Structure 1
């Protein structure tokens, strides 16, 4: 939402005035602030969850404690799960929202539950019925976030409109065995028993020497699980080695040269199931190399969730058509040879143009009409100029001779 314009100088004056008033108030009534009590809500009770099978469910036994000196008038418990998980029945005192991915954060589902009851200091509470989470078919390495506070956490502007739950409302009850937490926000890893098959696809190239052509290779997560890596860690590395006899004219933005190959990463740290990353190169064929072949290979980082290694490498083949390298001349290129004989020589270049060199000059066949015209017209013009110049010289010489005789 755009902010309305304001007078910065007037704002500073207001801030200065309020600051002075605040200092006066603190000076006149320090005892009142010292006697004020405050609540401090913390969350706990959840340990890392491991060995979950896709399609199964598990409960979230969260606890809420008040470590402050005063009672909290209201409690909000906020849950968020990444895209491999989802919530089962949601109580009517909670609202759900789907949030799209943004700012390096993957898509997620959230639930915010409001408890209109006081939380007393030193007491540990838990919802009378824990929220239940389901592992989807794409679950693998997911995350559950828990947050607690007295204020409404609000809705995410990048999400869908919130929806109120339909299950019976729940309330907080005192927990006899729940562990008291120490923080307001906690992230809990949830690991499922699943696989994610990483694959690469090569390319079949065809062109002539001197030609620049596109090369597209791909990396795919064939699933069934999605993969999310931690911030700062590469999700996957792909090594692309072009065929011999070629040079890279343009490389993708996520690739950098590493020797004669290119080390490529991914645009997102989250690799969705059936998602793919395409790498578009531009190659120039510099020369013909027999049986030239490049490759696309997955990096050597550990991938315990990818047991199939047969599709971790693919070939890049190159079929060079036509003659030799661009600009090659089959003969010596000398006019008439070393002795200047009129026989001349003939050669065919890489573009199919035939050049014949003889004693009278050079002509081209098989090239463009523009090139043929441009080479013929200057010669004709020069010959005509020579004829006119010669005639002029003869006229001048005759006039001078007539004058000397007179």
Structure 2
């Protein structure tokens, strides 16, 4: 299926296996050490930095600011001389004035990671055990015109965090520096705070069809598009459906070569996107090679969005478009055999059922054309996935 989940390195499994090997190799020595010095393992003078949890934020209006405080606590028994607080937001969120003890940088999207905008704030002051702190002035986080489903992520560091290798050059803030001041403890604490931010906004998904023309026996190129006209970008939450565009070629044609983001679904092509999210003013162009096997009068196909619920997209008038075919000459090609019966676009799937149309993708007698073409496209997709898996994946610093 287009936009499949790519394989990921399981770093936790690898780390666990390495740790198990180390324990097995040193078990005898460890037992001796345990008997000789039972208190050598304990270090009760370590700091333990945590953040106060933040509840999900809903109902934000684009252009407004998020009024959220950040609390820092040291649950250990040793003071920390300097701490770094890292803020990371997705595409629909931004920042106001940046204090001079903070730096901002950008991390572009790669692999399955969305683009991030990060701010790293250094607080060069002691964080004492058992004390709760908060920045004396909250960092201004704003909802941009593209906000819809976004994420705010906050992490806390005892050392200066390394930047992602793809990050832009950090830029220091120009607003007055901010200090940590004693605050009030309360609620749960976490090592990392991840906050879903939902804004009141819309995004207009739309498709375009095509007008094809050719003689019987010709191979023609169909270019259909899916676009997000905004204003919001769309980042699906867990459980939300991904984009699915259903393309039904006109009757009397067969698919010679499908687009790499498409696969057969019943008697249509189901097409996805290169990423699970769709930027505002983003989208995909699907290029499909069709062979005109037979002249079917008034043959018409369609491009349409699936019927999945999209509450952010109230305009349904541009969710479907026609694919017309003007054929010069009559009859059918000798190799195609019996041609398909016509359809004016078919119907999209609902609840996981396959779409139903009256026209086959490949004409009878050449039904192997589409599986072979799709198999080739799948092989390319597998190769691409292998390259992506081979890339070094690391957690974006603060994102």
Give a deviation string over 1:215-265, Cα, whole Å, max 9, x none: 110000001111112468543111111111111111112111111101111
Q: 1:118 to 1:60 in 2, by over 3 A?
A: same
**1:276 aligns with one of 269, 275, 283:** 283
**1:236 aligns with one of 243, 250, 254:** 243
Rounded to whole Å, the distance in 1 between the matches of 2:99 and 2:162 is: 18
The within-5 A match list for 1:5-404 is 30-176=38-184, 178-230=185-237, 234-327=241-334
Give a deviation string over 1:152-177, Cα, whole Å, max 9, x none: 2222211110011111111111112x
Give a deviation string over 1:106-140, Cα, whole Å, max 9, x none: 11110111112222222221111111111111111
**1:266 Cα deviation from its structure 2 partner:** 0.7
Q: How many residues align?
A: 312
Tell me, what secondary structure is at the counterpart of 1:228?
coil
**Contact 2:241–2:308 (Cα < 8 Å) also in 1:** no
Rounded to whole Å, the distance in 2 between the matches of 1:265 and 1:234 is: 11
Tell me, what secondary structure is at the counterpart of 1:270?
coil
Q: 1:26 to 1:203 in 2, by over 3 A?
A: same
**Contact 1:256–1:262 (Cα < 8 Å) also in 2:** yes
Give the ranges of 4+ consecutive aligned residues of structure 1 lying more than 3 Å apart after TM superposition: 22-33, 230-234
Rounded to whole Å, the distance in 2 between the matches of 1:101 and 1:231 is: 19
Rounded to whole Å, the distance in 2 between the matches of 1:41 and 1:281 is: 55
**1:25 Cα deviation from its structure 2 partner:** 7.6
CA RMSD of aligned residues (A): 2.4
Give a deviation string over 1:279-327, Cα, whole Å, max 9, x none: 1101011111111110111011111110000000000001110232235
| More displaced stretch, 211-220 vs 58-67 | 58-67
TM-score (ref. length: structure 2):
0.73
**Contact 2:53–2:193 (Cα < 8 Å) also in 1:** no
Larger RCO: 1 or 2 (CA < 8 Å, sep 6+):
2
**1:68 Cα deviation from its structure 2 partner:** 2.4
Larger radius of gyration: 1
Rounded to whole Å, the distance in 2 between the matches of 1:44 and 1:35 is: 25
Tell me, what secondary structure is at the counterpart of 1:114?
strand
Unaligned runs of 5+ residues in structure 2 are 1-21, 336-399
Q: Quick check: which one's strand share is greater?
A: 1
Tell me, what secondary structure is at the counterpart of 1:271?
coil
**Contact 2:71–2:132 (Cα < 8 Å) also in 1:** yes
**1:27 Cα deviation from its structure 2 partner:** 6.9
Tell me, what secondary structure is at the counterpart of 2:67?
strand
Tell me, what secondary structure is at the counterpart of 2:125?
coil
Rounded to whole Å, the distance in 1 between the matches of 2:130 and 2:171 is: 34
Unaligned runs of 5+ residues in structure 1 are 1-14, 329-406
**1:34 Cα deviation from its structure 2 partner:** 2.5
**1:195 Cα deviation from its structure 2 partner:** 0.7
Rounded to whole Å, the distance in 1 between the matches of 2:299 and 2:43 is: 83
Q: 1:32 to 1:260 in 2, by over 3 A?
A: closer
**1:26 Cα deviation from its structure 2 partner:** 7.2
Rounded to whole Å, the distance in 2 between the matches of 1:139 and 1:59 is: 16
| More displaced stretch, 133-142 vs 214-223 | 133-142
Q: 1:115 to 1:26 in 2, by over 3 A?
A: farther
TM-score (ref. length: structure 1):
0.72
| More displaced stretch, 34-43 vs 154-163 | 34-43
